[in-house]
């Protein structure tokens, strides 16, 4: 099925913005070129990515989770590449399910390429998602901007992150490279530049793979909190407010390596695709 006449919804989580495409029966054909056209900020709707809303039973990639979750979040980066997980995206996805009448407010399960996630969606207000367990990515990584270099901590939140603690967020860009990581990150890596603003308070900028610098990254904020917690040895559970250019997210890391992400999820427009 082509995209002409397909309905869409536009939403964001701390200004990390997405085009939501309802496709309950899995009939849409989405190739990389179509995703790039939709996400184009001049000639398309514009967004950091696309969230396709499909029933798990109708999506081969999610069929194994059909008994655990009714809906599958098919997330694509703005360049058309497939991503395992998106922390801001899943909150927007869940808010859409509730506002579209496809799920009731409260706790719901959403299938992703990183497994089934539990999301708490009130009738109004911030949305909280259990992101699951974080995992270390072994290796010594260096982030380079111009002639400056910083050591980075590798953290997996279902997708890969390299977190560099820096002196100022002005150090964050433009990002040049993350050397010597191709064998570890063959599909690319998200890079977070983090400053500590006090106990339980961080700020960051992020370069997302397949997108570039964005206003926010939910999995990146989780990875930043994990990396700082490991660096400082703060007692668990540990909660951090993470300021991003688009707003604030709250992250809690528990003793079992589980991570909770809480923040706004807002739907701002809907319409019909043409062309």
pLDDT at 178 exceeding the cut of 70: no
Give the predicted TM-score (pTM) of the model: 0.93
Is residue 222 annotated as part of the catalytic site, yes or no?
A: no
Average pLDDT, the chain: 93
Whose CA is closest to 158, among 98, 213, 110, 96? 110
Alpha helices in 136-267 (DSSP H): 218-232
To 10 degrees, the CA torsion angle through 227, 228, 229, 234?
160
Q: Where are the domains of the chain?
A: 7-130, 133-263
Could you report the per-residue pLDDT of 117-137, keeping only the tens digit for each? 999 999 999 999 999 999 999
Contact in structure between 30 and 59 (CB atoms under 8 Å)? no
| Percent of the chain scoring above 70 in pLDDT | 95
For the packed helices 218-232 and 87-99, what is the interaxial angle rounded to 10 degrees? 130
74-116, pLDDT tens digit by residue?
999 999 999 999 999 999 999 999 999 999 999 999 999 999 9
Phi, psi of 18, deg, nearest 5:
-140, 150
And the tokens for 63?
């069929």
Instruction: Give 180's pLDDT tier (boundaries 50, 70, 90).
Output: very low
pLDDT of residue 209: 87
Average pLDDT over every residue of 177-203:
80
Residue 198: alpha-carbon gap to chain centroid? 25
What does the pLDDT read at residue 171? 81
Cα–Cα nearest to 236, from 261, 220, 259, 204: 259
Would you say residue 147 has pLDDT above 90? no
The CATH code of domain 133-263 reads 3.10.310.10
Residue 153 in this model has a pLDDT that exceeds 90:
yes
195-245 pLDDT, tens digit per residue, is 999 999 999 999 988 888 899 999 999 999 999 999 999 999 999 999 999
Confidence class of residue 1 from pLDDT cuts 50, 70 and 90?
low
- Per-residue model confidence (pLDDT) at position 176: 54
Is domain 7-130 annotated with CATH 1.10.260.40?
no
Based on the residue annotation, tell me whether 86 is a catalytic residue of this protein.
yes
Comparison of pLDDT for 167 and 145, the residue scoring more: 167
Give the pLDDT confidence score for residue 140 in this predicted structure.
82
Active-site hit among 39, 176, 217, 222: 217
CA separation for the pair 256, 207 (Å, rounded): 28
Q: What pairing do the DSSP bridges indicate for beta strands 258-263 and 71-77?
A: unpaired
Element (H, E) at 36: helix 32-39
| Mean pLDDT across 148-160 | 92
Quick check: 78 and 32 in contact, CB under 8 A?
A: no
Q: Is 198 left (phi over 0), alpha (psi -120 to 50) or beta?
A: left
């Amino acid at each position: 099925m082509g995209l002409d006449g397909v309905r869409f919804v536009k939403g964001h989580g701390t200004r990390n913005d997405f085009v939501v495409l309802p496709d309950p029966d899995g009939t849409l054909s989405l190739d990389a070129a179509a995703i790039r056209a939709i996400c184009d900020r001049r000639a398309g709707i514009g967004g950091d990515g696309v969230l396709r809303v499909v029933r798990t039973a109708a999506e081969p990639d999610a069929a194994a989770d059909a008994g655990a979750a009714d809906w599958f979040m098919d997330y694509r980066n703005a360049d058309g590449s497939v991503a395992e997980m998106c922390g801001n995206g899943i909150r927007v996805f869940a808010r859409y399910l509730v506002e579209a009448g496809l799920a009731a407010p409260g706790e719901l399960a959403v299938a992703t390429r990183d497994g089934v996630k539990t999301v708490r969606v009130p009738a109004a207000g911030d949305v909280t998602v259990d992101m699951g367990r974080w995992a270390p990515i072994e290796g010594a990584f260096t982030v380079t901007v111009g002639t400056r270099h910083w050591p980075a901590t590798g953290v997996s939140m279902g997708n890969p992150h390299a977190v560099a603690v820096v002196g100022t967020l002005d150090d964050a860009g433009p990002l040049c490279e993350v050397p010597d990581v191709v064998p570890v990150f063959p599909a690319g890596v998200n890079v977070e530049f983090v400053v500590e603003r006090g106990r339980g308070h961080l700020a960051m900028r992020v370069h997302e793979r397949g997108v570039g610098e964005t206003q926010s990254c939910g999995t990146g904020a989780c990875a930043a909190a994990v990396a700082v917690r490991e660096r400082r040895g703060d007692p668990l559970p540990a909660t951090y407010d993470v300021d991003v250019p688009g707003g604030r997210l709250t992250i809690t890391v528990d003793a079992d390596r589980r991570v909770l992400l809480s923040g706004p999820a807002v739907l701002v427009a809907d319409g019909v695709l043409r062309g």
